[in-house]
Amino acid sequence: MRSLLLHAHNDSGFEARLQVALDLARAFDAHLTVLQPVAFNVALPGDAFGIFAAETATYVREQAAEFRQQIEPRLEAEDVRWDWVDTVGIAEASLLEYAALADLAIIGTGPIDGETVGPSPLAGLLAVHCRAPILVVPDEGRAMVPGAPVVVAWNGSLEASRALKAALPLLKAAPSVTLVSVTSSEDEQSGELPALAGARYLDRHGVNCEVVEVPQGQHKVAEVLNEVARARGAGLVAMGAYGKPRLFETLFGGVTAGMLRDPRLPLLLAH
């Protein structure tokens, strides 16, 4: 893990994800690219001549420049390699482009528009389409500490397998790894990789893990995973993202949507 991508935006969660990014950069001797997408294409109702849109674009540009001036001195004081990139366009497109050559993309859980209710649309889109695994950092709560215990959610799916492999550098640094399967009476095991297959993969890479099966009972899977992570003192939950179509989970609920709706810990997601 030598190339990290951090989404820079002046929102309530930036400080938390900045600290996580710096911790990871130090722990893995990684280069940190701080990416600040700035959308100048502003359309306002009733603004036929674009006067107010131009003024708004100028304001947005000035705010972005001011934010960069605030953060860069802090980065210069850190013992990490970094660069800052400003792009013009929506955050989703810029992050997808730059994540193509990143080992990990670090984003927040909250909507960047400050108005959307529910799971972050940005996190949901990147979880499905990003070419790198994403690390979703909550706005509040203790930040992930490299070297903290890790919980890996396992359901035998392709998405879970990809998340397991993507998390490998972090799992190697963790003092303990727990591979958790949340079971219910309706589970169908055919066609799914058992948890022991995931454990054998980790063992080949020198990672010891504990395999745990937890009954779902009357709880949602996201609630069970959060409780296991809390009990284990985990600093990170790694899981496959959107095994069902993203729209389906948004409308009817799902594990990924549930974890993003009320994040307790940083989430490493891969699709």
In a domain, 266, yes or no: yes
* pLDDT tens column, 192-207: 789 999 999 999 999 9
Q: Which residue among 137, 159, 175 closes a domain?
A: 137
pTM (2 decimals)? 0.88
Residue where a domain terminates, one of 137, 163, 194:
137
Q: What is the pLDDT of residue 263?
A: 84
Residues 15 and 108 in one domain: yes
Residue where a domain stops, chosen among 111, 137, 163: 137
- In the numeric block, the tokens 């729209």 are attached to 247
Q: Does residue 133 sit in the same domain as residue 156?
A: no
Each residue's pLDDT tens digit, 58-82: 888 899 999 999 999 999 999 999 9
Comparing 170 with 262, the larger pLDDT belongs to 170
pLDDT band at residue 128 using 50, 70 and 90 as cut-offs: confident
Q: Considering its fold, how many domains does the chain have in total?
A: 2
The residue-averaged pLDDT of 225-242 equals 94
12 occurs within a structural domain: yes
Instruction: Look up the domain containing 262 and give its range.
Output: 150-270
Q: Is residue 144 part of a domain?
A: no
pLDDT (average), residues 184-196 = 69
pLDDT at 149: 96
Per-residue burial over 169-195, b = 16 or more CB atoms within 10 Å of its CB, e = otherwise: bbbebbeebbbbbbeeeeeeeeebbeb
Res. 25: pLDDT tops 50: yes
The answer on pLDDT for 84 being more than 90 is yes
pLDDT at res. 74: 98
Kindly state whether residues 129 and 189 are assigned to the same domain.
no
Same domain, 70 and 183: no
Q: pLDDT tier at 252 (50, 70, 90 boundaries)?
A: very low
pLDDT in tens, 207-226: 999 999 999 988 999 999 99
Give the confidence band of 251 by pLDDT, cuts at 50, 70, 90.
Answer: very low
Candidates 10, 246, 16; CA nearest to 145 is: 16
pLDDT (tens digit per residue) in 32-68: 999 999 986 555 455 444 555 567 778 888 999 999 9
202 domain-assigned: yes
- Based on the fold, state whether residues 156 and 266 are members of the same structural domain: yes
pLDDT at 127: 87
pLDDT of residue 270: 93
Q: Are 209 and 152 in contact (CB under 8 A)?
A: yes
CATH at 249: 3.40.50.620
Contacts of 67 (CB under 8 A, 6+ apart): 8, 10, 36
9 and 119 in a common domain: yes
pLDDT at 188 over 70: no
Q: 145 lies in a domain?
A: no
In a domain, 229, yes or no: yes
Which pLDDT value is given to residue 186? Answer: 62
User: Average pLDDT of the chain?
Assistant: 86
